């Protein structure tokens, strides 16, 4: 259920509606819009007595929300959510170019990569400090040391940084260092982690689980949004199919579908989908052409020496070329002639 307030409804009228919703035993969620305020209602199992709400001062309309992901749905908030990461915008026509190594390895190497990708047009730096590895014997990341390196890189370059929180235990630590907290594909249905992310004041990048439907993906996002954090970026990163020539199968069709159903920005990670660097650029181009709000790619100055995901990491030269090609696609899309990140 969604309450749409009059354009000129006062803050007091909005507060009265919220109080009434609480008195009915439900939770109100105020959603400020460009034109007017809307108030989402969650917590109801069945029908809500709309008569009681329709009569309140300032209420324009009470409409049912048909989707189970009520707050993440475009029905509730028709205009795009724009996530602002220290002045770098994602969504609403602004394209994010996120780049960096799979894992933070050394301070020197991370700084070299950051400066190079920044020169080529990256707007946000990525790098894992806590790595979810399939094998317990593989490099697990530098932990807090890695986060400290990312902080130094941000100070030196001004690039906002994104890194993954693996569990509820290290969430606060990661959150205290980074500008965007990443929740990885393996954790998309870690509901206690999602709830924790929902209470964070930092933007969250939620990656699609490898065998998750769009429905499940959006309900995972709903866990975060329903706790009060609307700064959620969805990341399509490929799903597992019978196709075995790539690491995963990039679900390009999910991009226009997600953009239709939700107001949250959608970015694409072609690196983990591909598993090999040769097809990362074509997949990134396909993602932007299909309407993605940005891409996140793994880049390394010497991929052959990378401690994780070297085969799918772009070289610095390939990254430069990718940005050049993506800009041409962005310019060719009349709906959104915007510069990356602006
Ligand atoms: C990553 O982006 O570092 C990562 C581990 O990706 P995913 O969770 O999509 O596998
Ligand atoms: Mn990786």
Residue range 274-289, pLDDT digits in tens: 999 999 999 999 999 9
Q: Does the Cβ of 297 fall within 6 Å of ligand 1? A: no
Task: Please identify, by atom number, the ligand 1 atom nearest to the C-alpha of residue 184.
Answer: 8
- In angstroms, the CA 124 to CA 157 distance is 10
Q: Residues 323, 324, 325, 329: is their CA dihedral positive or negative? A: positive
- In angstroms, the CA 185 to CA 208 distance is 5
Question: What per-residue confidence (pLDDT) applies to 335?
Answer: 66
CATH of domain 83-336: 3.20.20.70
Classify domain 2-63 by CATH architecture.
Answer: 2-Layer Sandwich (3.30)
Q: Which ligand is nearest to the CA of 207?
A: 1
The pLDDT tens digits for 151-210 are 999 999 999 999 999 999 999 999 999 999 999 999 999 999 999 999 999 999 999 999
Task: Please identify, by atom number, the ligand 1 atom nearest to the C-alpha of residue 164.
Answer: 3
The pLDDT tens digits for 204-230 are 999 999 999 999 999 999 999 999 999
Q: From ligand 1's centre to the CA of 166, what distance in Å? A: 11
For the whole model, what pTM was predicted? 0.93
**Which residues sit opposite 253 in a β-bridge?**
none
Q: Does the Cβ of 185 fall within 6 Å of ligand 1? A: yes
Nearest CA to ligand 1 atom 8: 184
Which of 135, 141, 164, 190 most suits a substitution to test ligand 1, by most atoms within 8 Å of the C-beta? 164
- Reduced to 3 states, what is the DSSP secondary structure of residue 330? helix
**Does residue 65 surpass a pLDDT of 90?**
no
Which run of H or E residues covers position 223?
helix 214-226
In this structure, of 65-74, 141-150, 311-320, the range with the lowest mean pLDDT score is: 65-74
**Domain boundaries, given as residue ranges, for the chain:** 2-63, 83-336
Q: Does the Cβ of 188 fall within 6 Å of ligand 1? A: no
Q: From ligand 1's centre to the CA of 55, what distance in Å? A: 49
For the segment 291-314, the average pLDDT, to the nearest whole number, is 98
**Which residues sit opposite 88 in a β-bridge?**
85
Q: Which ligand is nearest to the CA of 99?
A: 1
């Amino acid at each position: 259920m969604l309450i749409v307030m009059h354009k000129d409804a006062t803050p007091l009228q909005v507060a009265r509606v919220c109080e009434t919703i609480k008195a009915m035993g439900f939770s109100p969620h105020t959603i400020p819009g460009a034109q007017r305020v809307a108030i989402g209602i969650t917590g109801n199992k069945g029908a809500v007595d709309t008569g009681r709400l329709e009569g309140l001062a300032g209420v324009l309309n009470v409409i049912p929300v048909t989707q189970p992901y009520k707050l993440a749905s475009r029905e509730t908030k028709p205009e795009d959510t724009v996530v602002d990461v220290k002045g770098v915008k994602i969504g609403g026509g602004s394209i994010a170019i996120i780049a960096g190594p799979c894992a933070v390895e050394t301070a020197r190497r991370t700084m070299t990569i950051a400066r190079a990708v920044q020169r080529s047009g990256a707007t946000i730096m990525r790098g894992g400090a806590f790595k979810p590895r399939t094998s317990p014997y593989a490099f697990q990341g530098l932990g807090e040391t890695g986060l400290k390196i990312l902080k130094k890189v941000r100070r030196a370059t001004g690039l906002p940084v994104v890194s993954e929180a693996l569990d509820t235990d290290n969430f606060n630590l990661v959150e205290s260092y980074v500008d965007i907290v990443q929740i990885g594909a393996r954790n998309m249905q870690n509901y206690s982690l999602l709830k924790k992310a929902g209470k964070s004041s930092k933007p969250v990048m939620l990656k699609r689980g490898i065998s998750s439907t769009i429905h499940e993906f959006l309900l995972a996002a709903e866990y975060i949004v329903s706790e009060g954090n609307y700064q959620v970026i969805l990341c399509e990163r490929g799903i597992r199919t019978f196709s075995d020539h790539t690491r995963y199968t990039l679900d390009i069709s999910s991009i226009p579908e997600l953009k239709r159903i939700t107001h949250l920005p959608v970015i694409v990670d072609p690196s983990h989908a591909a598993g090999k660097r040769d097809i990362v650029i074509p997949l990134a181009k396909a993602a932007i052409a299909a309407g993605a709000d940005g891409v996140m790619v793994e880049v390394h100055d010497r991929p052959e020496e990378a401690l994780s995901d070297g085969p799918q990491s772009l070289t610095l030269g390939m990254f430069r070329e990718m940005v050049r090609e993506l800009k041409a696609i962005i310019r060719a899309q009349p709906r959104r002639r915007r510069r990356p990140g602006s």
